[in-house]
């Protein structure tokens, strides 16, 4: 103890990243200091830093403070630190107000998000925030505060030219490679579209996973802006930027609970769009059995929420409810999806579900951005795709991101371990769940193994003859192929029946 | 990889206790395995153990698995482990049902509590449980399931003699050393009272902290039973036992949020009583400004909840709403409180608030346990106290717990660094908040320094003359004394005014 007033402890480094500013005290020191696990202490070296306390009976001896990686960077090479108890951040009170319906201000919300970004909140505190916003969804105004705070605590793109176009898909439908078509169509029409995408979390491949097969996807905000200004569009990985960084931190606690509170979802989407400088945003809301939004009415409510939040933030938002109960196109998983998208760009060869959805959404964007008159967008998008202008633009995009612009669909490598699943009888495919298709593709190696995936010969509602192939599985590794085959065969992943039980018809509202 | 089928990783020990079964994977291995932070993996050594995954880009290299302390104990000295993805425990679904008002069974609740005890749930999952039960309090039947599960996942005492008496205080009132009087009174009347107590968390001293000044308090369940059978009562620290072990694990996530969901509070209290084998329980509910239960109506609701839960568990519960807006007695903090309690036992010398509350509650217990007729309990308790039988019993209790039975109030050492706070003018004490008294005692060193505390000369509502002492502060260390003095002087910890603003009258319902 220095001057008998402040506790001074020897530093013991713990070279583990815990995603927050955290230290470990021996219980005897914690008692002496009057703090418990979960409390805060202030550490003094040259400056001050506040850390969350964990306590132990043994591992860290009395007189010593265990310092995790995130703190190490702040304390230079200090051998000792002066420790005093500190109060909890005000954000913890804000979280309790959100839980209990108490009052808080826009500044309180900013401080909360800022503490999340600065790694000042524990998993416990962040989970309470997420659980509370799941159980008592934030009102529209507070969701706006949340979104603005998410934008303002990260990097922002600021373009000189407008409008800036953007699109987003709520996800949940396999094989949704439409961004690989929409971005070049929109950019080819002369609009700017700096598309940032995510990697798959529970899916078989996010847009960033797919684009990575064609070109690098990790760029910072300045690079994204400059590339977009040069060729009109990019398809990059949002995770490499510092755009709305709170989002990834929140996903870290949402994911283990499979929670995605609707206000958090709205804020997450619109914060990323706002930070990218978007003026006009089209949002694809896949609905139907097996999607994240099984119920159309729920999809409409989400659309209203997104449009309202966009208006609050000065963005024009249009939402397209799309049929999501079946995969888009016939491929699910990295390379297979890229091949399917490239073939459409190269020669319009490809499934109607993919082409129609892509030109439908691209057409909406052309209309919103003023490149086409209302009602003419879809035709214009189709024409850009058919004429080869979209392919040409895609090559420019691939090139500016550092890929090979000469790449064609036949250059993409697909796993050489393959198997086919055949129909056991004549009939119709009556059940073929999205989730099971994704599971098969993931077991085959997607999204990590780019050559892994599933090619769907027969979709739900289609007729099939005995011994015809229903799907082909591609894998880079024999044991993964085996696991995927076993999954495809069990639990009625695919059900063929001898009669059509119901008419399966697209519910799209495009 | 072994046989190309199962991932085999080298073990790197991380000798840190994290309170759960956790491992760290390099992100590349996690991707290959198809798991993310928060997912589970199964580890195979001789047997199997499931662990929660954390991920890192650097600290743990590819091909290696970082293994925290809690796992180390299970894997012996294995140098490599076979890793496969595992599903989340079903408890996570139960937590989501609690969040969303879904259905779950008694067995689901047992599994959830068992996973908490076995350290199978992450902080994120446990916090979701606590936050959900705070926001949507569990119905009575589910609270019963929770309580039974908390009892059944720990050690239980099973006495041959009945009834077993117990008491509990909801807490929140400083200086509440009444157990030191009640336990010997009840035991002296021939009833068995195995009293387990807690240490202070946010207070200046829990009953276990106080008793520890007189005798050891850490015993296992068998020792508690045998000592109780020999002398009629004990006052031990619950934390040393394996009684209702889920409780401490839940407190670990409740404390950082200052949450104490009422259903969790009921379950926590009654699980500990149930596991101790209690038949008759008296619960002290201090109400009034500055307590945990400021509102009497809220106190009554809690009483109804406790009585109902007791009935469901086969325990007879009576609740006493007591006045808690002022400290009990005139001392707050370790040694001072013990001196005050011993003086009452030795010679009935002491504040009326302490004597009356103690004999009131003890009297209730004597009636419930059949030692006194209804209406005669208080007088009998007073007589036992006054006759010296309670002192004699307390000495037996001290002795059987391994303390010195000859100890007297004058043997207790009190901090020799002292200061007094004087009235600046004639008047009445109009404000003297419980929380501020506790804060001053804690700054002086309580509960860690046994000699630290506060002696209150003038309580709220009492008259005081200019320059008369209002309180004395005792500390073992000069710098702590200074901090305590500064706190006592600032922020109107004590307000003296020249007129009586209101009549302060006890609201006790005893």
Give, as one character, the DSSP assignment of residue B30: H
- Longest CA span, chain A: 88
- In order of B2, B72, B431, B453, the CA distances from B7 in angstroms are 7, 19, 66, 58
Backbone phi, psi, residue A207, to 5°: -55, -40
What is the per-residue pLDDT for B503?
26
Is B99's CB within 8 Å of A134's CB? yes
Q: Across the A/B interface, how many CB contacts are shorter than 8 Å?
A: 124
SS3 letters across A439-490: HHHHHHCCCCCCCCEEEECCCCCCEECCCCEEEEEEECCHHHHHHHHHHHHC
Report the half-sphere exposure of A232 (CA within 13 A, side-chain side): 17
Rounded to the nearest 10 degrees, the angle between the axes of helix A334-347 and helix A179-188 is 40
**Which of A23, A121, A127, A480 to mutate against chain B (most B CBs within 10 Å)?**
A127
Both B213 and B191 in one domain: the answer is: yes
CA-nearest residue of chain B to A129? B131
Read off the pLDDT of each residue in B474-483 and give the average, rounded to a whole number: 92
Both A318 and A338 in one domain: the answer is: yes
Q: Is B100 in the active site? A: no
Residue A2 in any domain: the answer is no
What is the per-residue pLDDT for A26?
93
CA distance B56 to B431: 53
Residue B156 in any domain: the answer is no
What is the per-residue pLDDT for A294?
87
Note whether B123 contacts A: Cβ–Cβ < 8 A: yes
CA distance B176 to B326: 10
Note whether A48 contacts B: Cβ–Cβ < 8 A: no
Angle at B232 between CA B313 and CA B239, to 5 degrees: 60
B3 vs A contacts (CB less than 8 Å): 479
Number of domains forming the structure of chain A: 4
Instruction: Identify the domain containing residue A480 by its residue range.
Output: 413-497
What is the per-residue pLDDT for A495?
65
* Whether residue B491 has pLDDT greater than 80: no
Question: Which residue's entry shows tokens 């005792």?
Answer: B474
What is the per-residue pLDDT for B490?
75
B 271-300: CB under 8 A from A:
none
Task: Using DSSP, state whether A183 is helix, strand or coil.
Answer: helix
Both B344 and B476 in one domain: the answer is: no
Confidence (pTM): 0.90
Read off the pLDDT of each residue in B462-469 and give the average, rounded to a whole number: 84
Both B187 and B325 in one domain: the answer is: yes
A477 vs B contacts (CB less than 8 Å): 4
Both A290 and A365 in one domain: the answer is: yes
**Element (DSSP H or E) covering residue A43:** strand A40-44
Q: How far is A33 from chain B (nearest CA, A)?
A: 9
Is B252's CB within 8 Å of A38's CB? yes
B127 vs A contacts (CB less than 8 Å): 123-124, 127-128, 131
**Element (DSSP H or E) covering residue B221:** helix B221-231
B 213-272: CB under 8 A from A:
252-253, 255-259
Total count of residues recorded for chain A: 510
What is the per-residue pLDDT for B427?
79
CA distance A453 to A431: 19
Backbone phi, psi, residue B402, to 5°: 100, 15
Which of A117, A136, A155 is where one domain is finished? A136
CB-CB: which of A59, A131, A479 is closest to B16? A59
ipTM for the assembly: 0.88
CB B414 within 8 A of CB B475: no
What is the per-residue pLDDT for B304?
95
Q: How far is B178 from chain A (nearest CA, A)?
A: 24
Residue A156 in any domain: the answer is no
Both A178 and A303 in one domain: the answer is: yes
Q: How far is B188 from chain A (nearest CA, A)?
A: 35
Note whether B175 contacts A: Cβ–Cβ < 8 A: no
Both B361 and B485 in one domain: the answer is: no
CB-CB: which of B17, B39, B59 is closest to A17? B59
Backbone phi, psi, residue A35, to 5°: -120, 155
Is B136's CB within 8 Å of A131's CB? no
Note whether A131 contacts B: Cβ–Cβ < 8 A: yes
Contacts of A317 by beta carbon, 8 Å cutoff, 6+ apart: A270, A280, A281, A282, A283, A306, A307, A309, A310, A311
CATH number of residue A66's parent domain: 2.40.40.20
Is A92's CB within 8 Å of B256's CB? yes
CA distance B291 to B268: 19
CB-CB: which of B59, B125, B130 is closest to A256? B125
Which of B384, B409, B434 is where one domain is finished? B409
CB B358 within 8 A of CB B385: yes
- In order of A195, B294, B409, B428, B460, the CA distances from B433 in angstroms are 58, 13, 28, 14, 9
Note whether A410 contacts B: Cβ–Cβ < 8 A: no
Is A66's CB within 8 Å of B123's CB? no
**Which of A30, A102, A128, A438 to mutate against chain B (most B CBs within 10 Å)?**
A128
Note whether B321 contacts A: Cβ–Cβ < 8 A: no
CA distance A234 to A135: 37
Is A127's CB within 8 Å of B127's CB? yes
Q: Which is the catalytic residue, given B123, B152, B260, B376?
A: B260
| Residue of A184, A200, A241, A245 lying closest to A217 (CA atoms) | A241
Both A114 and A186 in one domain: the answer is: no
CA distance A89 to A112: 9
Q: Spell A255-274 as b/e; 16+ CB within 10 A means b.
A: bbbebbbbbbbbbbbbbbbb
Query: Using alpha carbons only, how large is chain A's radius of gyration in Å?
Result: 26
Note whether A56 contacts B: Cβ–Cβ < 8 A: yes
Q: How far is A309 from chain B (nearest CA, A)?
A: 25
SS3 letters across A98-111: HHHCCCCCHHHHHH
Q: Between the ranges A76-85, A466-475, B30-39, B97-106, where is the mean pLDDT highest?
A: B97-106
User: CA B467, B470, B474, B475 torsion: positive or negative?
Assistant: negative
Give, as one character, the DSSP assignment of residue A210: H
Read off the pLDDT of each residue in B50-76 and give the average, rounded to a whole number: 89
Contacts of A105 by beta carbon, 8 Å cutoff, 6+ apart: none
Residue B147 in any domain: the answer is no
Backbone dihedral region for residue B329 (phi beyond 0: left; psi -120 to 50: alpha; all else: beta): left
**Which of A131, A133, A252, A417 to mutate against chain B (most B CBs within 10 Å)?**
A131
pLDDT class of B17 with cuts at 50, 70, 90: confident
| Helix, strand and coil percent figures for chain B, each rounded to 5 | 40, 20, 40
For the CA atoms of A108, A109, A114, A117, the dihedral, rounded to the nearest 10 degrees, stands at 150
Residue B152 in any domain: the answer is no
CB atoms within 10 A of CB B459: 18
A136 vs B contacts (CB less than 8 Å): 135
CB-CB: which of B5, B136, B255 is closest to A479? B5
Backbone dihedral region for residue B49 (phi beyond 0: left; psi -120 to 50: alpha; all else: beta): beta
pLDDT class of B493 with cuts at 50, 70, 90: low
pLDDT tens-digit series, residues B165-203 = 999 999 888 998 999 999 999 999 999 999 999 988 888
Is B4's CB within 8 Å of A122's CB? no
Task: Using DSSP, state whether B255 is helix, strand or coil.
Answer: helix
Residue B259 in any domain: the answer is no
CA distance B64 to B244: 37
Both B313 and B427 in one domain: the answer is: no
What is the per-residue pLDDT for A422?
84
Note whether A510 contacts B: Cβ–Cβ < 8 A: no
Is B253's CB within 8 Å of A124's CB? yes
Question: Which residue's entry shows tokens 């999501």?
Answer: A324
Residue B445 in any domain: the answer is yes
Q: Which is the catalytic residue, given A45, A123, A260, A376?
A: A260
What is the per-residue pLDDT for A153?
98
CB-CB: which of A31, A58, A124 is closest to B257? A124
Both B41 and B20 in one domain: the answer is: yes
CA distance A228 to A225: 5
Both A181 and A323 in one domain: the answer is: yes
Both A404 and A448 in one domain: the answer is: no
Which of B86, B116, B149 is where one domain is finished? B86
- In order of A153, A246, A253, B262, the CA distances from B131 in angstroms are 26, 21, 14, 12
CA distance A466 to A468: 6
Residue B119 in any domain: the answer is yes
Give chain A's residues under pLDDT 70. 1-5, 430-431, 491-510
A131 vs B contacts (CB less than 8 Å): 99, 127-128, 131-132, 135
A56 vs B contacts (CB less than 8 Å): 16-17
Read off the pLDDT of each residue in B347-360 and give the average, rounded to a whole number: 93
């Amino acid at each position: 103890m220095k001057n008998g007033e402040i506790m001074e402890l020897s530093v013991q480094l713990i070279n583990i990243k815990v995603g927050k500013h955290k230290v470990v005290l021996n219980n005897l020191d914690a008692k002496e200091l009057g703090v418990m696990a979960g409390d805060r202490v202030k550490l003094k070296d040259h400056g001050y830093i506040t850390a969350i306390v964990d306590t132990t009976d043994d591992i860290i001896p009395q007189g010593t403070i265990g310092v995790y990686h995130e703190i190490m960077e702040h304390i230079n090479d200090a051998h000792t630190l002066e420790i005093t108890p500190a109060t909890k951040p005000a954000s913890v009170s804000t979280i309790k107000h959100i839980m209990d319906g108490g009052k808080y201000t826009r500044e309180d919300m900013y401080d909360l998000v800022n503490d999340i970004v600065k790694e000042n909140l524990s998993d416990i505190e962040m989970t309470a925030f997420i659980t509370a916003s799941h159980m008592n969804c934030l009102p529209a105004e507070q969701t706006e505060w949340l979104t603005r705070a998410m934008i303002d605590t990260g990097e922002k793109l600021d373009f000189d030219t407008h409008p800036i176009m953007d699109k987003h898909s709520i996800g949940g439908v396999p094989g949704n490679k439409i961004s690989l078509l929409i971005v070049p169509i929109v950019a080819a029409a002369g609009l700017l579209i700096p598309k940032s995408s995510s990697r798959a979390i529970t899916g078989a491949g996010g847009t960033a996973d797919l684009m990575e097969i064609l070109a690098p996807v990790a760029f910072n905000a300045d690079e994204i802006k400059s590339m977009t200004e040069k060729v009109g569009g990019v398809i990059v990985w949002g995770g490499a930027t510092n755009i709305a960084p709170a989002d990834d931190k929140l996903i870290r606690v949402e994911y283990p609970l499979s929670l995605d509170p609707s206000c958090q979802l709205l804020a997450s989407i619109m914060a990323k769009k706002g930070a990218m400088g978007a003026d006009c945003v089209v949002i694809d809301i896949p609905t139907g059995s097996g999607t994240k939004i099984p119920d159309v009415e729920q999809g409409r409510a989400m659309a209203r929420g997104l449009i309202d939040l966009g208006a609050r933030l000065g963005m024009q938002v249009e939402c397209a409810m799309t049929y999501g109960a079946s995969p888009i196109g016939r491929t699910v998983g990295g390379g297979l999806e890229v091949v399917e998208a490239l073939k459409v760009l190269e020669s319009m060869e490809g499934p109607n579900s993919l082409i129609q959805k892509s030109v439908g959404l691209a057409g909406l964007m052309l209309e919103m951005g003023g490149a086409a008159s209302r009602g003419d967008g879809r035709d214009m998008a189709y024409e850009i795709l058919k004429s080869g202008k979209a392919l040409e633009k895609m090559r420019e995009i691939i090139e500016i991101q550092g890929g090979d612009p000469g790449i064609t669909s036949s250059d993409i490598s697909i796993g050489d371990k393959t198997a086919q699943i055949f129909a056991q009888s004549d009939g119709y495919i009556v059940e073929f769940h999205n989730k099971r298709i994704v599971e098969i593709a993931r077991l085959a190696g997607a999204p990590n193994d780019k050559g892994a995936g599933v090619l769907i010969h027969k979709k739900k509602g289609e007729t099939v003859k005995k011994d015809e192939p229903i799907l082909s599985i591609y894998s880079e590794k024999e044991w993964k192929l085996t696991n995927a085959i076993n999954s495809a065969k069990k639990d009625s992943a695919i059900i063929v029946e001898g009669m059509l039980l119901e008419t399966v018809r697209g519910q799209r509202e495009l």
